[in-house]
Amino acid sequence: MKNSGQSYLFLSFFVLAFTGSCRNTSKKGNDVETLLAQPPFAVITDSIKQFPKNAGLYLERALLLSKNNLHEVATNDYAKAWELQPDEIVAIQYASNLSITNDTDKELHVLQNALQQFPDNNQIKQMLGDTYVEAGKNKEALELYDNFIKKDSNDFESWYEKGMLLAKMNDTVHAIEALQKTYSIQPTSTYALELAHLYAETNNAAALEICDQVISKDSARELIDPFFIKGIYYSNTKQYEAAMVQFDSCIRRDWKFNDAYIEKGIALFKQKNYDVAMNTFRMAATVSNTNADAYFWIGRCYEAINKKDDAIEYYQKAAALDKNFTEAKDAIKRLKS
């Protein structure tokens, strides 16, 4: 048997060789067989040859392959383990592997079958919903959450996932209804703040009451989100001085909380206090020099004071950091036209 140094050298070589040989099916098959006959997989492979119906051995080898970042190779072992022993643990690990390898269709198939067999497994339920959302199948995800809710109207996790998905779909009214239900069943700070944030975005003063309730229970004085949400509400309702008090509270608790600088700067910008706003955005860029929003808003400030060349420079920085920053790209075109 090769020593461990040789084995890991072979393993590293295989990862490169396997990736490069994906177009050649027969060669890939030979490569896999060679790999599985080498340490650290050889012992389990020998056991599988002796006990080919032992699901645990396939799962053990699959996990070891995953540990070594050989997820595509591991897929067949997870599939075999699931075929021989379709239990909850195998389903979750198999689906997780398929997620890593971006085999969404197969992942959905496994999770759908697993849910039929284990309808009360919350992790499988959540994974299936998340996979639908990631695949852009929002209708299917909503139907899934609604089915769970029909079975158990107090299923706060499904209410929450439904609410968050509706918010993502810009259906704010129904998102609030779902999160209200979540919070009524399970009144935790997490659900409270998600609901408060939607209230703030819709200029509903109920956001303030919820945030104050959360703050009153924060004996460690560590939470930042309730102050930030209150700031969003005040800024949206043009109570800018009150908004900046809240954003400053965030910064005092965590000077690296970049969003607070951005929102404070926007409040200053809306008041046409461009110099102070620009300094605030520069602080945001100092805290995180990869924050595209900070550079974009510096550009906005320069544009507002009619320094077009400087504005273009910062819009370009924002667009370089975020290739999908349409507003920055549009601003560049506008100023250059």
pLDDT tens track for 196-223: 999 999 999 999 999 999 999 999 999 9
| pLDDT value, residue 29 | 63
- Give 30's pLDDT tier (boundaries 50, 70, 90): confident
Q: For residue 96, is it within any domain?
A: no
Q: For residue 239, is it within any domain?
A: no
Among candidate residues 162, 213, 220, the one with its CA nearest the CA of residue 229:
213
Greater confidence (294 vs 27) lies with: 294
Q: For residue 279, is it within any domain?
A: yes
- Give 28's pLDDT tier (boundaries 50, 70, 90): low
Paired tokens of 147: 């089915």
Q: Could you tell me the pTM of the whole model? A: 0.81
Please identify, among 58, 85, 112, the residue that sits at the C-terminal boundary of a domain.
Answer: 85
Q: For residue 296, is it within any domain?
A: yes
In the chain, how many domains are there?
2
Q: Which helix (H) or strand (E) holds 139?
A: helix 138-151
Torsion of Cα atoms, 177 then 183 then 186 then 187, to 10°? -170
Among candidate residues 43, 44, 14, the one with its CA nearest the CA of residue 27:
14
Please identify, among 69, 85, 101, the residue that sits at the C-terminal boundary of a domain.
Answer: 85
Please identify, among 37, 57, 85, the residue that sits at the C-terminal boundary of a domain.
Answer: 85
CA atoms within 13 A on the CB side of 18: 20
pLDDT at 27 over 60: no
Q: For residue 225, is it within any domain?
A: no
Q: For residue 79, is it within any domain?
A: yes
Q: Residue 284 carries which side chain, given as an amino acid letter? A: A
Q: Which helix (H) or strand (E) holds 89?
A: helix 88-100
What CATH number has the domain bearing residue 326?
1.25.40.10
| Residue 63, CA distances (Å) to 1, 56, 78, 90, 305 in order | 22, 10, 8, 10, 59
Q: For residue 309, is it within any domain?
A: yes
Q: For residue 281, is it within any domain?
A: yes
pLDDT tens track for 104-162: 999 999 999 999 999 999 999 999 999 999 999 999 999 999 999 999 999 999 999 99
Q: Helix H segments across 202-307?
A: 206-216, 225-236, 240-253, 258-270, 274-287, 292-304
Q: How far apart are CA 179 and CA 164, in angstroms?
A: 8
Q: What is the mean pLDDT of the chain?
A: 92
Q: Domain of residue 44: give its range.
A: 11-85
